[in-house]
Structure 1
Amino acid sequence: MKKTAVMLSLALTFSTASALTNIKIASISPLSGPSSNQGLQLKNGTQLAINDLKAEFAKAGLSVSLVAYDDQADPATGTAAARRVVADKSILAVVGTLNSGVAIPASAAMAPSHVAMVSPVNTNEKVTDRGLKNMNRVCARDDAQGPAGGEFVVNNLKAKKVYVLNDKTPYGQGLAEQAEKAMKAAGATIVQSEGVTAEERDFTAVITKIQALKPDAIYFGGLYGQVGPFLKQVRDKGINTPVVGGDGFDSEDLIKLAGSGASNVYFTTVAPPVESVPAAKALAANYQKTFGAPLQGYGVMSYDAAKVVLRGILNAYKLNKNKVPTRPQVETSIRSGTYKDLMTGEVKFDKNGDRMTAKMYVIAVQGGKRSTAGTLNVLRK
């Protein structure tokens, strides 16, 4: 009798499991190449959000899983991934991307099919200023981040002459332009403003100009995979000028790549230092246990972006009379929702998909060690 009861219980369990309707969300981020550290944080943060909400989906008769695409931080590769997402009808929404230059064409490729996208960290203004109904973000924008960095250079570092670099990507160029405007407005002189390709790793010519112009600070709109070698080379030449940038610096790999050059470095970031988010303590422990690596700010932002996606799907499911929602229904639900159970506070989007209230952080790196140098509240009007 006991054996029969156990078998009946197992049969019911398997029956319930098989009755779940399978849906998917996707992540698009660089899982290989020089930006893979941040890209993996995006993917893994998304997976943890799925794990945490799986029980709620099961109660609704849904099974949710992640499909992770590697965009290699390349617009063409990211757009190809977006087209694969569109082709897989079981994917209802996307968390991504890492790079604004990838987000812009990828979101455009998915817009006609109404595949909603929530970005954790894309900051270029064009990401949301195109008026796409499917594109949203949970971070502040370059028109907030760039000025914050520029004002820090002039007001905190007291720089009067600044050398500006950018990596010629939409992210790096947009960030540097906004920072440059703020520095000029605050009275600083831009002694040089130029771009170097994102693939460049030999900065001999740039360093020669820096030696001749003797700026009080260097502002670099770029990513850690390039900035790390730049820091090493510029410090090896005995130049200890402060180097300032945006959230593209925000990776532990910056310190590894810069080596002894990881000092007198400052950057603004839309991703919080993990220790500054009390609610993230358990998430950090779970991340370490699950992936064998420490949680970073990009993982926190991606966890929140994924929860917005998942809550949006659940809300659309309820509005659709407890049936699997369509992509347009999910798109509308995500944009119109208010999300309160997040690590970084409440998320509500404006008409373009920008977060109404966000925070920005200024991080200092001295002797290879990071510390928080300031926090700024950002409000969308």
Structure 2
Amino acid sequence: MKKTALSLSVLAALALGSASAQTTVKIATLSPLSGGQSDLGLQIRNGAQLAVNEYKAQFQRLGMNLQLVAYDDQADPATGTAQARKIASDRAILAVVGTLNSGVAIPSSQALASSRVAMVSPANTANQVTDRGLSNMNRIVARDDAQGPAGANFITGNLKAKKVYILNDKTAYGEGLAKEVEKALKAKGTQVVGNEGTEEKSDFSSIVAKIRLQKPDAIYFGGIYNQVGVFIKQLRENGITTPVVGGDGLDSSELATIAGKGASNIYFTTVAAPIEALPAAKTFAANFQKTFNDGAQGFGAFGYDAAKVVLQGILKAAQANGNKAPSRQQVEAAIRKGSFTGLLSGNVSFNSVGDRKAATLYVMNVEGGKYKLATSVPVRPVRQ
């Protein structure tokens, strides 16, 4: 009896010693978890959490306790930058999945650069996100200078529009996208009858009046679903059925909810594939629903993929470091130079500035509140 008790105590001590010997390794997500854009931000966080759940055992075998910590940037550049500084101060965090908004990514990645904390974005499209040449900033989605022309091509080729009214939300994302669309439309000889930025969130009556006067064949709005949905609702309530086209900021199931009965004749390009367009996503979608009691959307899948890039990068760096926890600098280099497989959206590798070498854009159509895939377009950045 005493021998058994002693043996158990020894085993317990060994187990405790083994547990205490584990090195805690963290990755962070940085996305809006509260506020008007939280639907997409939570998708990113939850997708990343599924990837962490899958990789925990691999890290455990190397003596590393893998954790995910989620930071709320509230879709606000100042908040995101403050959160980035908190991330930098936690030395256990080796890399970040985020952000949703380009306007948040730009200052946040700059704040993380000196600490060599790598970022892999599942969503940022503004050209300047990577054009600044930061060694820690990467993205797995196409840029505005690919998404803008794709939207313009759809407007002229599919919608046959001759006159277009352009709006943007006055953010780095919306302005950048609208600029690329305008440039592409003008190159095709399409008339831009209006082009303005607005931070309005609730009363679009003055803009609707201008649109009624100009009678465009299509409206392009570079913005986010929570703002654009209200605009569409008011546009339709005023009897204007003109097609509304946007970018991936409209890629949320909440768009149709906000637009209500007006959720028809809407199109948007998106860098995050709809789940049905990803053959490998069936199991992921089922796990997402089971784990979070919520349906997976495109940014959930791309949050998952971005996290897998981060986790594979950390494992590659650990392997090069004698199977021990790597430094942030080693992880940063491994992510930029690596080739990553087993992702829902296909294999990933980055060019010299952190752009994905081969990406796909999707055009979605919303009719009667229902979303369906219209077409897809393969794209590549200018630099390989």
Please classify the TM superposition score into its range, dividing by the shorter chain length. over 0.9
Please list the CA deviations of residues 165-185 of structure 1 after superposition, one character each: whole Å capped at 9, or x if unmatched: 000000000001101111111
Matching of residues 163-202 of structure 1 within 5 Å? 163-197=165-199, 199-202=200-203
Aligned to 2:224: 223
- Distance in 2 (CA, whole Å) between partners of 1:246 and 1:112 is 32
Matching of residues 5-20 of structure 1 within 5 Å? 12-20=14-22
Matching of residues 144-155 of structure 1 within 5 Å? 144-155=146-157
One-letter code of the match for 1:178? E
Secondary structure of the residue aligned to 1:202 is coil
Residue 48 (str. 1) matches residue 50 (str. 2): yes
Deviation (angstroms), 1:6: 7.0
Secondary structure of the residue aligned to 1:279 is helix
One-letter code of the match for 1:64? L
Identify which of 67, 70, 74 aligns with 2:69: 67
Query: Where does the alignment leave 5 or more consecutive residues of structure 2 unmatched?
Result: none
Deviation (angstroms), 1:18: 3.0
CA RMSD of superposed structures (Å):
1.4
Matching of residues 1-381 of structure 1 within 5 Å? 12-197=14-199, 199-380=200-381, 381=384
- Distance in 2 (CA, whole Å) between partners of 1:158 and 1:9 is 74
- Distance in 2 (CA, whole Å) between partners of 1:341 and 1:9 is 38
Secondary structure of the residue aligned to 1:342 is coil
Deviation (angstroms), 1:379: 1.8
Deviation (angstroms), 1:15: 4.1
Query: Where does the alignment leave 5 or more consecutive residues of structure 1 unmatched?
Result: none
Please list the CA deviations of residues 26-84 of structure 1 after superposition, one character each: whole Å capped at 9, or x if unmatched: 11100011100000001111111100000000011101111111100000000000000
Deviation (angstroms), 1:21: 0.7
Please list the CA deviations of residues 128-182 of structure 1 after superposition, one character each: whole Å capped at 9, or x if unmatched: 0000000000000000001100110011000000000000000000001101111
Secondary structure of the residue aligned to 2:27 is strand
- Distance in 1 (CA, whole Å) between partners of 2:39 and 2:87 is 23
Secondary structure of the residue aligned to 2:194 is strand
One-letter code of the match for 2:230? P
One-letter code of the match for 2:250? F
Please list the CA deviations of residues 217-245 of structure 1 after superposition, one character each: whole Å capped at 9, or x if unmatched: 00000000001101100000000000000
TM-score normalised according to structure 1 size: 0.97
Please list the CA deviations of residues 71-113 of structure 1 after superposition, one character each: whole Å capped at 9, or x if unmatched: 0000000000000011111111111000000000000011011
Please list the CA deviations of residues 269-325 of structure 1 after superposition, one character each: whole Å capped at 9, or x if unmatched: 000010111211111111111111000000111101001111111111111112211
Secondary structure of the residue aligned to 2:351 is coil
One-letter code of the match for 1:357? A
TM-score normalised according to structure 2 size: 0.96
Please list the CA deviations of residues 182-202 of structure 1 after superposition, one character each: whole Å capped at 9, or x if unmatched: 1111221000000001x5321
Contact 2:201–2:230 under 8 Å retained in 1: no
- Distance in 1 (CA, whole Å) between partners of 2:213 and 2:13 is 78
